[in-house]
Amino acid sequence: MENNEKLNDLNDKLIDLELAKSDNQNSKVRKYLPAFVLVASFYYSFLLALGLALGYIGSKVFSKYFLENGKVDCIYIDCGKWKLHLHHWILGALLLLIVWFIDYFYLPRFFVGFVCGVIAHDIYDFNDWHKILVKNEEK
């Protein structure tokens, strides 16, 4: 019985992930935007562009192998009637903010690029990136 519940829970999580994935993969903006971003960031700094690409690819691989296989759960903070969903764009922005406050004058370009790549993955690849407050299901 317990295995059935775990299987159903995993199945629900996979369905939620599939529903959150972006549907308009063939639009021109989706096709050319990454190239423009990489060219602009490469013009600014090679390390920023490298970090951006590696952060995006690393986040995509992590999502594919850990989130979709149910090895890692999404992070929710229970607030009674509502749950606060901490997307990785929120966690990345908080991390950049904390590091910026700790050392205002020195923020490595590769680190900024890597964290921005993680942020871009959430916003670019998922439709639910803006859904932060989720109503708690009654059990």
3-state secondary structure of 88: helix
CB 54 within 8 A of CB 121: no
The Cα 123–Cα 55 span in angstroms is 13
pLDDT at 54: 92
The alpha carbon of 29 is separated from its chain's Cα centroid by a whole number of angstroms, namely 19
At 81, list the tokens. Answer: 């009637």
Could you report the per-residue pLDDT of 55-107, keeping only the tens digit for each? 999 988 988 888 777 777 777 888 888 888 888 888 888 998 898 888 877 87
Could you report the per-residue pLDDT of 105-118, keeping only the tens digit for each? 787 888 888 998 98
State the average pLDDT for the chain.
Answer: 76
Answer yes or no: is pLDDT of 26 > 70. Answer: no
Could you report the per-residue pLDDT of 5-14, keeping only the tens digit for each? 655 565 555 5
The Cα 73–Cα 30 span in angstroms is 27
- pTM exceeding 0.85: no
Q: How far is CA 87 from CA 32, 41, 123, 133, 139, in A?
A: 25, 24, 9, 11, 24
